Structures are given as C-alpha cells and as structure tokens.
Structure 1
Amino acid sequence: MFTISRRQVLATSLVTGLAFAWPPATSADEPAGRLLSLGGSVTEIVYALGAQDRLVGVDSTSFFPEAAQALPNVGYLRRLSAEPVLALTPDLIIAEADAGPPEALAQLRAAGVAIVSVPDEPDIGGVLAKIDHVAAALGLHEKGAELARRVSTRYAGVRERVARVAARPKVMFVLSAGKGAPLVAGTGTSATAIIEMAGGQNPIDGFPDYRPMTPEAGINAQPDVILVTERTLKLLGGMDRVRDLPGIQGTPAARNSAIVAMDGLLLLGFGPRTPDAVWQLALRLHPGLNPVDQAGHRGHR
C-alpha cells in the first residue's frame, strides 16, 4: 500500500479540477481545532455529526441549521477571496467540489491551510459519499457511518412509497438569480435529479445544465407543475407573476396554478435532509400520498 502526501493530492486537485479528499487531514486523536465549512450541504453534515463546536466560519450558502447563520461568513463559495478566509485562521477547510476560484484556493494552500474537497453528485449515493468524506476529514468515522445509515434508511422508506405512485407529472424547474431571464433546468442538474426522485419527470430534456427560459420552451414542454425555490418566487414577484411569465402562461401548470415553492438548500443541496426534501416534494406532486405517513422520513432530528 502506497501513501501520497497532502501536498500532492491538493496539487492534483487544482490541476484537474476534480473533487478529491485525501485521508483525513486530522484524526480522532488530533481533531481540527478551527474548521471552515464551504457549502450548505457540508455545513449541515458538520452539524449532523455534532462537530459544530469546531466551526469558525461558513459561506453564504450555509443557511441550515439556523445557528450556522450566526457564524462569520466568508462569502459565496464560488467567488472566494483568500483574505477573509485567512482572517479566521482555520486549520482545515472542508469545501464542496465547486468552491473557488482556483486562485483563491491556491493562496490558501500556500498559506498552509489544509483543504478537503468533497464530491457533489445529485443522488442518494452522492449524499452518502459526502457524509463519508466529511466524517473522514474530521476523524468521526463511527458517527459518519451512523448518520449515513439513518439517511439511507429514511430514503429507502421514501423511495418505497414514491414507487407505488403510477402518475409521473411533468415538472419544470425555474430559477432566477435576480438578473436577466429566468433559467430552466435541463438534464444532469440537481433539479432534474430531485424531481425524478420524487416521482416526477423533467420535460426539458433537449439540453444539459441551465438555459434562459424562452416562451417556446414552456409551450413545447407543457409542464403540469412549475417548481421554484422560495428565493426565486420572491425575486420573480410571487405566484401570480410566475404564472404569467412567458413560457409558463398557457401551460397546464399555469391554468391549474400548480406552482410549488420550496427552500432552495433543502431542495437542491443534496445533504442529510435529502430524504425529507424528496418526501415533501412527492407530497406536492402526488396528492394521493398520505401526508401523515411518517415512515418515509422518521428519525429526522
């Protein structure tokens, strides 16, 4: 069995842009004294593992739990600057795979800060991998295994119930950043993944990632449901304004006022609450599901 140095792994990660997590930068005997979490799902996992006392800061996507919002904030994880991060003097940074830019990460590494990059795949396997990587970086293997078991068990219950539903409504996900035209989610996105997990289908399948919504896109897709984040709903001016958008107006979703808004981090974060996100969305897409059936998400605390 060969070993590889932390510096080698970090250098490879920088060059290739892939998400690597080397063997834990710390161990259970030598826990990281000052931890910075970058990415809402990573922060959720840190709290779920009971390691929040190590946190000295988070990024601006770390909304949950609410206590995380009281911590020092270093800004958006994709537009980091080294100076605010170094001001917190972290020993270890655990970051979602798309944290950056690379120049800022290079500065942090040059300053001697250990960085663990966590893979981010939008499926239940990806959630379990995140938990494993974060737990390993913190030297909390047993707690990580227990958290992964609870998440896996909850998701199995949800999946069993969703599998019984025959209808698969067409669900179009719309996202607004507050500038320019709203975007619609195509293939390979977290939005498409969560829609399918909840027993829906994304009618936008002609392109990957996100593209500006056009009137033709909605008319051709004829969605039964429009799915948005609560932030997008606010930015677009509420339910009525969303329903009247070109590309949505005239669709079955608009005619039936079938617009579903959910918390963005819960819906798209693919963290420990993903089984709950799937269940909540499934209840909105499939009115026949029993909302008081707790078996699908028992144990979420």
Structure 2
Amino acid sequence: MVKKVYLLAVMLLISVSVYAQGNSKSERIVSLNGTITEILCDLGLQNQLVGVDITSTYPAAMEKIPKVGHNRNIGAEAVLALRPTTILGVRSNGSMDIKPEVVQQFKSAGVKTLIFDQETSVAGTKKLIGDVARAFGASAKAALLIRKLDADLAKIRKPAKPQKVLFIYARGTGTMTVAGRNTSIEKIIQLAGAQNAFNDFESFKPLTPEALVSGNPDVILLFTSGLESLGGIDGLLKVQGVAQTNAGRNRRVIEMDGQLLTGFSPRLGLAIQELSRKLNPELSLKN
C-alpha cells in the first residue's frame, strides 16, 4: 500500500512538472521595447516572443518576428491580434513609452501586462535586467548578464581631456533636432568620457545654424539611419552651420546603431566601448 501511494505521488509530481513546462513553453510574449526584447533573448526566452515593436532590432532574429508598430504609437488591436499571454513595456526615466489608455485596453482584455521602470544609467540597466529576469524566474541568468556588463565596462578608458559632442537626431533635412540635458544621449556621451555640446536646455530642440555655431562641437554624433537620411557626411556638411563648426571643418562625424547607442541594454558596455573608441582612436581598451 505504501509503495502504491509513493508511486502515485511520484507520478503526480511528474505530471505537475510536465504541465508547468508545457505552460512555460506556451507563453506568448509581446515586447514593446527594444531593450526589453534584448533582455528576454539574453535570458533564453526568444522562442516565446510572438510580436515586438520596431525598436526591437537586436538580435537579428527579431527581423522575422511580427512587428506591431512603434511603442509610442502602439494600437491595442494589433497587439491583441497576436493572442499574447504577456505584454511587456517600460516607463523610461519616469515617462511611459506606451499610452496609458492602450495599457488599460490590454488589461481590460485580461492580458498580463508588465511595465518596468527603466533608468538610463549603468545602475538602471542592471536593475532592469534583474526585474525582467525575476518576472520570468530567470534570476540566475541575470547575474551572468550583469557580470558580463561589468567586465565590458571595466575595459573602457577615458581621455584626459573630454571632447565636446553634439548629437543630431535626423530624419532627412526636414527633421533635425539636437540633444540637451537629461537625455539618454547625454548620459552615454558622458559615460564615454566626453561632454554634451549643449547643457542650457533639456530634452531636444530643433537644430539651428546659430545653435551649431554657438555649440561648436568637436564631434557630431548621429544614428546610422540618421546620417544615411542626410546623404552621408557630405550631405551633413551641406546643412547650414555644420561646416563652420570644429567638427565640420575636421569631418569629425560618428555614426552608431540607434538601439545600441541609446538602448541601455545588456550591450551597454559594448556601446560605450564603441563610442569611446570612435571618439579616441588613440586609446586602446584595457586588457
């Protein structure tokens, strides 16, 4: 009798385990933030993603995942059509990426919706990795990601004299803005050992020739897609005021992938390494 009870208990445990595994594999996740998507993939949850927003450009396998639009303009219908069991987004530096009414629609539809706080800093990146991992029972993997991030950061060398960097957000010559204080761009510029060209305003403001001349940056930084929209460096130099800056005269223009540069993802250390290397090619990384 005891043996039969024991066998029944073992079979029950096996059944529960199989059921739990089945539920885990049947999770259908929609990520509405590129950094969240990167973290999920690094945690081994890539196969559970059934939809992502257009900022989810990394890893390359995300090209094959259905896109639901940009996180700031997401419509609930497109997301819910993918029959998600969990929807993920972020509140970046206190500002919600997804419209609150859309989040409410997700919740009203009975879909588990998790909004994580993201602070664009090294500590904030580590916290976000840990928070996402805990939500999926993967804290052990998070520790490995954070250890790798620390190792990447330890290799960065900063110059004795910081250069003045101007970031231009461009979508063709008709849409050009520059970054001021309290932006993710300013923070990563500082982490790379440089200084932002403008600190007399917050967020972004339209680019003007007068601002370019007064800021007089040593280096101009753009997303790769932004520089392409202007026709490359030669196209950028035709923008009024650019050629009159130190950066323009010396053709000191740096381009980087947008998600890598501003995502503050597990690749943050690699992003700072790349920016630092492009700013200061004479400096080698620490071994």
Alignment pair present for 1:107 and 2:105: yes
Which residue is 1:176 aligned to? Answer: 170
Residue in structure 2 matching 1:289, options 273, 276, 283: 283
Q: After the TM superposition, which segments of 4 or more aligned residues of structure 1 sit over 3 Å from their partners?
A: 27-32, 177-181
Q: Report which of the two has the higher share of strand.
A: 2
Q: For residue 128 of structure 2, what is the aligned residue in structure 1?
A: 130
**Hey, what's the Cα distance between the residues in 1 that align with 2:176 and 2:34?**
23
Closer/same/farther in 2, CA of residues 227 and 267 from structure 1, 3 Å limit:
same
Q: What TM-score results when the alignment is normalised by the length of structure 1?
A: 0.83
Go from structure 1 to structure 2 and tell me whether the alpha carbon gap of 1:74 and 1:186 turns closer, same or farther (over 3 Å shift). same
Show the 5 A alignment for 1:1-301. 31=24, 33-97=27-91, 98-158=96-156, 161-162=157-158, 165-178=159-172, 180-290=174-284, 293=285, 295=287
- Distance in 2 (CA, whole Å) between partners of 1:283 and 1:261 is 12
Q: Deviations over 1:261-285 (max 9, x none)?
A: 1111111111011111101110111
Larger Rg: 2
TM-score by length of structure 2 reads 0.87
- Give the C-alpha shift of residue 28 in structure 1: 9.1
> Are 1:82 and 1:107, in contact at CA under 8 Å, matched by a contact in 2?
yes
Q: Which has the higher helix share?
A: 2
> In the alignment, is the contact (CA less than 8 A) between 2:171 and 2:230 conserved in 1?
no
Cα offsets for 1:225-256 (capped at 9, x unmatched) = 00000010011121111122123220000000
Letter in 1 for 2:204: Y
Query: Gapped runs of 5+ residues in structure 1?
Result: 1-26, 296-301
Provide the rounded CA distance (Å) in 1 between the counterparts of 2:238 and 2:264. 30
SS of residue matched to 1:208: coil
Q: Distance in 1 between matches of 2:131 and 2:242?
A: 40
Identity over aligned pairs, percent: 39
Q: Is the 8 A contact 2:173 2:230 kept in 1?
A: no
Q: Which moved more, 1:203-212 or 1:129-138?
A: 129-138
Number of matched pairs? 263
Following TM superposition, by how much is the alpha carbon of 1:30 offset from its aligned partner in structure 2, in angstroms?
6.1
Contact 1:78 1:101 (C-alpha < 8 Å) held by counterparts = yes
SS in 1 for 2:141: helix
Secondary structure of 1:119 counterpart: strand
Q: Which amino acid aligns with 1:266?
A: L
Residues 294 and 29 of structure 1, relative CA distance in 2, 3 Å threshold: farther
In 2, Cα distance between equivalents of 1:277 and 1:96:
20
